[in-house]
Chains A and B, each alone.
Chain A
Amino acid sequence: MKTALVTALVFLFLAAAAPAQDIDVKAWDAVVEKARGETVYFNAWGGSESINAYLEWAGEELRERYGVKLVHVKVDDTANAVTKVVAEKAAGKDEGGTVDLIWINGENFASMKRQDLLMSPGWAEDLPNWQYVDVENKPTIRTDFTIPVEGLESPWGMAKLVFFYDSARTDAASLPENADELLEWAEANPGRFSYPQPPDFMGSSFLKQILAEKAEDQAVLQRPAEEADFEAVTEPLFAYLDKLNPLMWRGGKAFPQNYPAMKQLLADSELDIIFAFNPSEASSAIANQELPDTVRSFTFPGGTLANTHFVTVPYNATARAGALVTANFLLSPEAQARKQDPKYWGDPTVLALSKLDDKDRALFEAINLGVATLGPDELGPAIDEPHPSWMERIEEEWKRRYGVGN
């Protein structure tokens, strides 16, 4: 007991005394050595039980293998974690920050990169497990919402917008195949569709899907919104929403808070069509007895949004080595395979199966993707994410038009 206390104190002292700099990702053994005993505060969205459970597993493995303690700081909006780092920078806290690792993509990455809040120079492509990453076939791994990644964040999973319905209630032939048909469908089935209230990430993504489909000129979305006529470009989107919102659940007067809430509404048969960014979400919900086994997936043949989500390290992180070890572990074939299994989470991998050895590839091939999951060839074309500046403006405009109060 006493020795443990002394050791802990010594560690505390060492941790406090050690300079935060001098981390060389290329000297990986040194990084792993340094990481031992560190506590990594991982700021990640905490709204899904299966993801939380996955992170608990990861924490357990990290502790056993590397002596790294992973603490999942559950945030309800990643922007809050970013604001925390901004506040720390404003207060001159350039070392010893409270955030070590953030689950991030798109707007928040762009914002952190712009404000120099990320640990640099780029480190992700020097992680040992980077060798397995499918950079060739997954362009969003190196370009996040049109912003070059430059190794400032490490890929964690792939996302593609897919829709779910209950085949016991809804005839597959009646399902919409694009935004316009969705509106027609809502007219025929009032009150049976909704989207989470923006700025919830899923709700905002739905707005982007509509924008991408309705905008006259796709190319303009790939450039900052400031360079375009915002009102003219988004006019079709808001005209669409003006028509759609009154046809939605609760007449568009209330919205589900997030994806899990929407999932519950599908189970209660309040909603008929819901959507998620994770193609195997429905299978995983069926496995957890949250949705009936008659739920199936569909997507728009014309394409839906696709992107990659990442983890990144703030510039003032305290446990940098621990954060890197965590990022590398999350990229390992073992962790990625477990993540892809709908039993645990069902999030598609960022790795290329062709780059894995036989043993690791077998891990992936053994996964039963489940009845409700579309195969990789059925997912349809990918629509690129617009430049992050569009999202910020659209969320503001949405709030002004449809959201009262906070």
Chain B
Amino acid sequence: MLTRLAPSLAMLLLAGPILLGLTGTLLPAFGYLPALGGMHPTGEYLARLLQEPAIFHSALMSFAAGLITAAVSLTVVMLFVGGWAGTRLFSRVLHLVSPLLSVPHAAAAFGLAFLVAPSGMIARFISPELTGWTRPPDVLILHDAMGLTMMAGLVIKEIPFLFLVTLAALPQIRLAETRALAASLGYGRVAGFLFGLWPQLYPQIRLAVFAVVAFSSSVVDVATILGPTSPAPLAVRLLGWMNDPDLSMRYLASAGAMLQLIVTAAALGAWTLVERICAALRDSFAAAGKRLRRDHAIRIAAFAAMTLSATVVIAGLGTLAVWSVAGLWQFPHALPKDFTLKSWIAAGPRILSPLTTTLVVAFFSTLLAVALTLLCLAREDEKGRKVRRGTMLLFYLPLLVPQAAFLFGLQLFFILTNSAASIVALVFAHFIFVMPYVFLSLSDPWRAFDRRYDAIAAGLGKGAWVRLLRVRLPMLTRAILTAAAVGFAVSIGQYLPTVLIGAGRLTTITSEAVALASGGNRRVIGVYAFLQMVLPALGFLVATLVPALLFRRFRAMRV
């Protein structure tokens, strides 16, 4: 009974809020918001939106950020996997990159900012010896008008994501055989991969790439920390209007959210065009018989790009950690003059409440997501077939629709039902974004489970529930805990849902950290961003330690 309801429940809980939210956003955009006295449909607010200064500039920036981030990250991942899959170096890089998936976007962005700013860590390391700078150069790197730093900040986070998604899809293609075949026909590694394997691989990761396009074109936290300010990308300006105490600005914000929806849709549309052009290029290369045998340079470049992006994140996080305990630290010193725990002690009492909210919301949204995922998967077994593509799309839906576009409306709904800024509403809002990741990371190990254990248990006369609870779930402990750790990390990284549904009264480590960005107090930012990075890591630590303890007497269950 429970399992039969699960898929519909999942659909209701994921698609429901999105549809509800989109409606709640679209109606005010056309002037319908009875709570504020807007009863009659009007195009006035859309017209006002178009008159906002530099609005098209903002929209274009968001559009470009979506496409460029996805193109760069995907190219790096594609060439690296093509050039190195199956080598020992590949698994080394994998160990370097995979933990980075759990680092929240905001923390990575802060790390990058601390690294590349004119007074940042890189400039400190090479000054004054190499550059002769005794003081930072007067150049605009952070908040640059083209948004290049912002895109870099997105790329370093999207590379690990796309890499791990690609990795999950790899076992479904015949890598070694095809590679041997391509090599025997005289193709270089990369060319053989691109011509022979990529066409099978890409459809499996396509939704994830779409998610990257959608996310990058509508991101708020990274754009606040690194993005241009005059004008800011569209989503940042929307949030400003939404948070304006002058409530009539909500109409404008809703109209802007509609524009955001159009921009993201346009970016996705443009991406499908890019796909076609690239496919045509590939075909013409293949048809022309290009074998690209000397692809050494490409392989090295791909490897360098991959390690560079990982190193940047790690070095950035390291810099954050140092700032959080820094005393006086002047340019161009590579290390602070003295160290102090003052920032931690000062922030301690202030951090307690956001920390509690963070943990409570992450715990319950993950719990809900894991439970529902397990039920959905159990139902899948009962029916004996994999979820259809349409259902997959449903799970990706929260990642494809720009957050601002439906969270505005959802917030309105919570306000009308008097549940805004309640912990339940916040758990629910986080759940929408946690569920897809939990489902995606749990479904593969679930499907890979050896059914014969089930058969044996059934043969011993055990019913379905007993088999599930006594055999399958314990054996899948490791996979379930890992999926939970992924969900936990996703929840901790959520910015926009926290700001909008928490309405400023419920704050998390992430929302506080981003709010601190404008003050530029690096020590305090260091403390918050460090916590942001540590919490997901703790989740993964639990996911590693608990199975190890649980299974210490079961040899076959050890890794």
B-binding residues in A (CB < 8 A): 47-49, 52-53, 56, 73-74, 76, 80-81, 83-84, 86-87, 91, 169, 190-191, 249-251, 253-254, 256-258, 260-261, 264-265, 267-270, 288-292, 403-406
B231 at the interface (CB under 8 A from A): yes
Q: List 10 A-B contacts (CB under 8 A).
A: A49-B524, A83-B246, A253-B140, A258-B520, A261-B520, A289-B340, A290-B521, A290-B523, A404-B231, A405-B53
A258 B58 Cβ-Cβ under 8 A: no
B437 at the interface (CB under 8 A from A): no
B244 at the interface (CB under 8 A from A): yes
* Complex-state Cα separation, A258 to B519, whole angstroms: 7
B422 at the interface (CB under 8 A from A): no
Counting chain B CB atoms within 10 Å of each CB, the highest count among A84, A265, A290 belongs to A290
* Complex-state Cα separation, A254 to B144, whole angstroms: 9
Provide the residues of chain B in CB contact with A403, threshold 8 Å.
230
B519 A83 Cβ-Cβ under 8 A: no
Q: Which of B157-165, B190-198, B202-210, B325-333 participates in binding chain A?
A: B325-333
* Complex-state Cα separation, A292 to B331, whole angstroms: 11
Task: List 13 other contacts, CB 8 Å, given A257-B518, A264-B520.
Answer: A56-B350, A87-B245, A87-B246, A254-B140, A254-B229, A257-B520, A269-B119, A269-B135, A290-B328, A292-B330, A405-B230, A406-B230, A406-B232
Partner of B143, one of A52, A254, A289: A254
- Shortest C-beta distance, A104 to chain B (Å), equals 15
Provide the residues of chain A in CB contact with B329, threshold 8 Å.
267
Q: When A83-B244, A404-B54 are in contact, do A47 and B519 touch as well, CB less than 8 Å?
A: yes
Q: When A289-B338, A405-B231 are in contact, do A270 and B138 touch as well, CB less than 8 Å?
A: yes
A250 B520 Cβ-Cβ under 8 A: no
Provide the residues of chain A in CB contact with B521, threshold 8 Å.
49, 260, 264, 290
- Shortest C-beta distance, B421 to chain A (Å), equals 12
- Shortest C-beta distance, A405 to chain B (Å), equals 3
B135 A261 Cβ-Cβ under 8 A: no
Chain B positions 421 through 449: 1 when the CB is less than 8 Å from some CB of chain A, otherwise 0: 00000000000000000000000000000
Provide the residues of chain B in CB contact with A84, threshold 8 Å.
245
B43 at the interface (CB under 8 A from A): no
Provide the residues of chain A in CB contact with B349, threshold 8 Å.
56
A405 B237 Cβ-Cβ under 8 A: yes
Partner of B140, one of A250, A404, A405: A250
A288 B342 Cβ-Cβ under 8 A: yes
Provide the residues of chain B in CB contact with A290, threshold 8 Å.
328, 521, 523
A261 B231 Cβ-Cβ under 8 A: no
Residue of B nearest to A405 (CB): B231
Residue of A nearest to B336 (CB): A289
Partner of A270, one of B118, B240, B326: B118
Counting chain B CB atoms within 10 Å of each CB, the highest count among A81, A289, A404 belongs to A289
Residue of B nearest to A272 (CB): B135
Partner of A256, one of B119, B350, B520: B520
Provide the residues of chain A in CB contact with B326, threshold 8 Å.
289
B247 at the interface (CB under 8 A from A): yes
